[in-house]
A and B are shown apart, each in its own frame.
Chain A
Amino acid sequence: MAASDVSPAAGLTVSPPGVLFALLGAASLWLPFLTLRANRIVAGEGAAPWEVADPIASTAALIAIAAGLTLGLLPSRPWVRFAGSLIGLAGLVVLLALGAATLLKGADNLARVSPAAGFWCLLAVIMLLMADAIGGLRPGPRLRFALLAVVLAGLAVLLWSGALNDLSPMQEYRTRAAAFRTATWRHVALALGSLGVAAAIGFPLGILAFRRDRVRAVTLPVLSFMQTIPSLAMFGIMIPILGWVGDTVPGAQSIGIAGIGFAPAFVALLLYSLLPVVANTVAGLGAVPATSVEAARGMGMTAWQRFWTVELPLALPVILAGLRIVLVQNIGLAVIAGLIGGGGFGTFVFQGLNQTATDLILLGALPTVLMALVAAILMDIVVEIAQPTLNRKYP
């Protein structure tokens, strides 16, 4: 991007969001960065970022964070701002790893160190800076995918290396590694499985609703109504209904249908998923230019050929946008499945709530947020690929 993007006459030589990030970042430094507690459930004591590690190391890390936020001030150079966000992130991670080890030195076995408000605020600010810089780069789908892969690989290496093992959520993880793996797969099965079934039902239903006014007049209001049921109430309703099915329909119980567990959670997510799938299918097909469909008819395409070569490809971006909504929504909602024994990351969240063990809650919440973010980014890439003309420019 050229420097001429910035008008010198206006005297604008810094990026406005960059200023905001720098100010927020500076303010975050005055919040406690880590919390040291005597054991996993009592309240702890906050430690400022410059007290968590030995002076030389913490100064170096703080300089890296400050330098990153300063680079983020440069307008019209998204690559520099992106590099700034990486430098800031590195400083933040180093401070976190060193701080945990330092604070635990000499403390007894039960003591715990967790990230505190200051860390979370700095992390949020640096991630926003990164998102802003990436937005300025206008990366194509391939570059975005590569960036995502790099960030995830970096995170994996960090967790693998054991640098963060002294942190309390990681200690919670270590005592539950097997349960965590099970919960991960269960969460994926709930979110992706309900999405798959919702697509298998909702897509044909959407096509039918698009073709037949009467089907549409019934389907959309019913699905909208279901969408308005609060999630806790929805899971609650599923318990007696599926419990009754499990008890009365022969063989239902043997395939896992019961009032609590995986089945009611899955069905509730499925019901939530139907509206976005059906509504976006109807909207997508409705947005196909009528003259294109007529032209296809006029040149002798059969109804089937018309659907596959004209209507579906033109409706696809909107349909995929519906699937994106469903996937992100389901990953979040699946947490609540933990409440009715559905498994998934929600298990840790609700166990943690019961035991007032914040770090156990984080063990469920953080992977959920990460999964939702990754799903959103991946689906955006897919939606963009489905629009072949979007990124093209001609002189």
Chain B
Amino acid sequence: MIEIDQITKTYGEINAVDAVSMLIETGTITVVVGTSGSGKTTLLRMINRLVEPTSGGVRINGEPTDAIAPYLLRRRIGYAIQGHGLFPHQTVARNIAAVPRLLDWPADRINARVDELLTLFGMDPDEFRDRFPQELSGGQQQRVGVARALASRPDLLLMDEPFGALDPIIRARAQDDLREIQRKLGSTIVLVTHDMDEAIRLGDRVGVMDGGKLVQYGPPEEIVERPANGFVANMVGDAERPMRLLSLIPVRDLTEEGAAEGSTVPETASLRDALSACLWTGRDAVPVERDGAPIGRVTLAAIRHRVGQHP
């Protein structure tokens, strides 16, 4: 668990980060979202002490981060810097191996880890291992940046707009991949973005920042259904709120007894997918399946009722 306690960073007159407190559970993804200049990067960099707080502090698993030398702290925390920050004079393999080498891993263990990570990110090790960063696409560069941050299997991973350079389709895939990798490894991730869609899609919890202050911090449903103020509501976007809400709720939650015509949706799909299926095929209900077997249906009326329930 990470405890951020009344942390503040002042640059001259302005508070880049203003008395922010957060509790971050182990094994979850926390997304900090806000407009540019709202203090997200500064907040993130105070966790690994790339920026020293003006006041307040951070504890990781009960241990204050200022109890050990900053460089030792940072070797335990993965950090994917905004704009990948790969070393242009080193191959992909050497870039990914940077932290394991700092930690004096034996060479064969490092090589195995590099290949494992490249495979995990869908890049053939034999093809990409010996390339230089300039010889990769923007999306591949960012993936290598994330792989480098993951290389030593850190329990905590800090990511600063890791998908910023990606086009929407590749970005959605990268987000799914990250989610899957995080589930597999059980790591704790703090991710910073200016994209509310990304925050809602990825976050177990979402913190919204404005002018250095954390204006709301909670599960994504709460951010969508009960924005704390006009700024958050604005970030969520009034017109898109119903769809955002539906995209967060699995079909499983509204599945009822009964049958319906046509093609099925899996119970893990979102209500948004079910609604799309109803509208597109002109049906009032769609059948729901689990592992290929029908388990019931979800109706248009139930979806409408669920959306109308917001406070």
A319 CB → nearest B CB, Å = 13
Q: CA A231 – CA B75 in complex, angstroms?
A: 53
Are A294's CB and B50's CB within 8 A?
yes
Are A291's CB and B98's CB within 8 A?
no
Are B88's CB and A292's CB within 8 A?
yes
CB-CB under 8 A for A292 and B71, given A299-B98, A301-B102, A389-B134: no
* Most chain B CB within a 10 A radius of its CB, from A291, A295, A388: A295
Within 8 Å CB of A305, what residues of B?
102
B186 CB → nearest A CB, Å = 21
Are B131's CB and A314's CB within 8 A?
no
Are B88's CB and A299's CB within 8 A?
no
Within 8 Å CB of A394, what residues of B?
131, 135
Are B81's CB and A294's CB within 8 A?
yes
**Is A313 an interface residue when CB atoms closer than 8 A count as contact?**
yes
Q: Which of A300, A309, A313, A314 contacts B75 (CB 8 A)?
A: A300
**Is B73 an interface residue when CB atoms closer than 8 A count as contact?**
yes
Q: CA A117 – CA B73 in complex, angstroms?
A: 72
Are B85's CB and A289's CB within 8 A?
yes
For window 43-85 of chain B, which residues contact chain A by CB distance below 8 Å?
45, 48, 50, 71-76, 79, 81-85
Q: CA A314 – CA B145 in complex, angstroms?
A: 18
Are A299's CB and B75's CB within 8 A?
yes
Q: CA A302 – CA B102 in complex, angstroms?
A: 10
Are A389's CB and B85's CB within 8 A?
no
Q: CA A4 – CA B143 in complex, angstroms?
A: 39
Are B74's CB and A292's CB within 8 A?
no
Within 8 Å CB of A176, what residues of B?
none
**Is B86 an interface residue when CB atoms closer than 8 A count as contact?**
yes
Q: CA A389 – CA B91 in complex, angstroms?
A: 9
Are B135's CB and A392's CB within 8 A?
yes
Are B131's CB and A310's CB within 8 A?
no
**Is A298 an interface residue when CB atoms closer than 8 A count as contact?**
yes
CB-CB under 8 A for A389 and B132, given A291-B84, A299-B99, A299-B102: yes
For window 351-390 of chain A, which residues contact chain B by CB distance below 8 Å?
388-389
Are B135's CB and A300's CB within 8 A?
no
Q: Write out, one digit per residue, whether chain A residues 289-322 have a CB within 8 A of any chain B CB (1) or not (0).
A: 1011011111111100100011001100000000
CB-CB under 8 A for A298 and B48, given A291-B84, A388-B89: yes
B147 CB → nearest A CB, Å = 13
Q: CA A392 – CA B132 in complex, angstroms?
A: 9
Residue ID in chain A nearest B102 by CB atoms: A300
Are A298's CB and B87's CB within 8 A?
no
For window 2-21 of chain A, which residues contact chain B by CB distance below 8 Å?
none
Within 8 Å CB of B85, what residues of A?
289, 291-292, 294-295, 298
Within 8 Å CB of B145, what residues of A?
295
Are B72's CB and A298's CB within 8 A?
no
Residue ID in chain B nearest A387 by CB atoms: B89
A77 CB → nearest B CB, Å = 30
Q: Which of A289, A299, A313 contacts B74 (CB 8 A)?
A: A299
CB-CB under 8 A for A389 and B81, given A301-B102, A302-B71: no
Q: CA A299 – CA B76 in complex, angstroms?
A: 8
B9 CB → nearest A CB, Å = 16
Q: CA A314 – CA B89 in complex, angstroms?
A: 7
Q: Which of A292, A309, A313 contacts B86 (CB 8 A)?
A: A292
Are B88's CB and A314's CB within 8 A?
yes
CB-CB under 8 A for A297 and B75, given A305-B102, A314-B89, A394-B135: no
Are B89's CB and A297's CB within 8 A?
no
CB-CB under 8 A for A289 and B88, given A294-B81, A300-B75: yes
* Most chain B CB within a 10 A radius of its CB, from A292, A300, A310, A394: A300
A312 CB → nearest B CB, Å = 10
Residue ID in chain B nearest A393 by CB atoms: B135
Residue ID in chain A nearest B85 by CB atoms: A295
CB-CB under 8 A for A295 and B86, given A300-B102, A389-B132, A392-B135: yes
Within 8 Å CB of B81, what residues of A?
291, 294-295, 298
Q: Write out, one digit per residue, whether chain B residues 98-135 have a CB within 8 A of any chain A CB (1) or not (0).
A: 11001000000000000000000000000000011011
Are B83's CB and A291's CB within 8 A?
yes
Q: CA A300 – CA B132 in complex, angstroms?
A: 22
For window 255-302 of chain A, which residues contact chain B by CB distance below 8 Å?
289, 291-292, 294-302
Within 8 Å CB of A309, what residues of B?
87
Query: Can you name 23 A-B pairs with beta carbons within 8 Å?
Result: A289-B85, A291-B81, A291-B85, A292-B87, A294-B81, A294-B85, A295-B79, A295-B81, A296-B87, A297-B50, A298-B81, A299-B75, A299-B102, A299-B149, A300-B76, A301-B71, A302-B71, A314-B88, A314-B89, A388-B132, A389-B88, A389-B132, A389-B135
The 4 closest A-B pairs by CB, nearest first: A295-B85, A300-B75, A300-B74, A291-B85
Q: 9 other contacts beyond A299-B74, A310-B87, with CB at 8 A cut-off? A: A295-B79, A295-B84, A297-B74, A299-B75, A314-B89, A388-B89, A389-B134, A389-B135, A394-B131
